[in-house]
Amino acid sequence: MKTGIKIYLVLSGILLIVLSCKVFFAIEPKSELTLNKLTIIDRNSGKPVLILADSVPDGVINGKVLPRIFKPRGMVYFDNKGNETGGLIVNNQEGMETAMFTVDYNNTDAFSIFKNETDTTYAMGIAISDRNTEEEFRKRGTGGTPRIVIQNRDKNAIFAMTDTKGRERVVFVVGRNDDVQLLVLDTLGKTVKNLATK
């Protein structure tokens, strides 16, 4: 091969490498995707299975849109019929910062891990709720009746069991001063008995 052709091929190769490096390395890779909303759709039904949004849409149960009492940010997930089945939300309303992870029955909140915090108060806990009947669902929407609540509220460790109307009936507390109470309450919330006292 002639020397001129060799030099041409070498220089062309070097130029190709330099230009390739310039093109590939000059473009900075995106390390962040910025969106207001991301909806993932089921390929078969066309219904959403997951929504991430700066304002979570109203819930849908059996095709019925249920307005939310506040407009949180976060993630909502759905079953194959398009019904909301839980989510992870955050909200700041009237100075109360709220974060909550929920798993739902088909028409009711079932299980929640929650955090509520203001400048002076806080609560972190778990709530397990009853499933609404169809009649209860028509009357009050998706809010189930919390039956078991475990929380740390303002330095008080609390375990509460409620009746079917959501009224606390048995409450076990280890207070901020290490005092212990095991309270049995009536339907008005008055203490009937403190089993921790002698």
Count of other CB atoms within 10 angstroms of residue 147: 15
What is the C-alpha to C-alpha distance for residues 74 and 54, in angstroms, rounded to an integer?
6
HSE on the CB side for 115, CA within 13 Å?
Answer: 9
126-176 pLDDT tens trace: 999 998 877 777 776 667 889 999 999 999 999 999 999 999 999 999 999
Place of tokens 């339907």: 187
22-61 pLDDT tens trace: 555 555 656 777 778 888 888 888 888 888 888 888 777 7
90-131 pLDDT tens trace: 998 888 999 999 998 887 889 999 999 999 999 999 999 998
Higher pLDDT, 67 or 97: 97
pLDDT at 26: 55
pLDDT at 45: 84
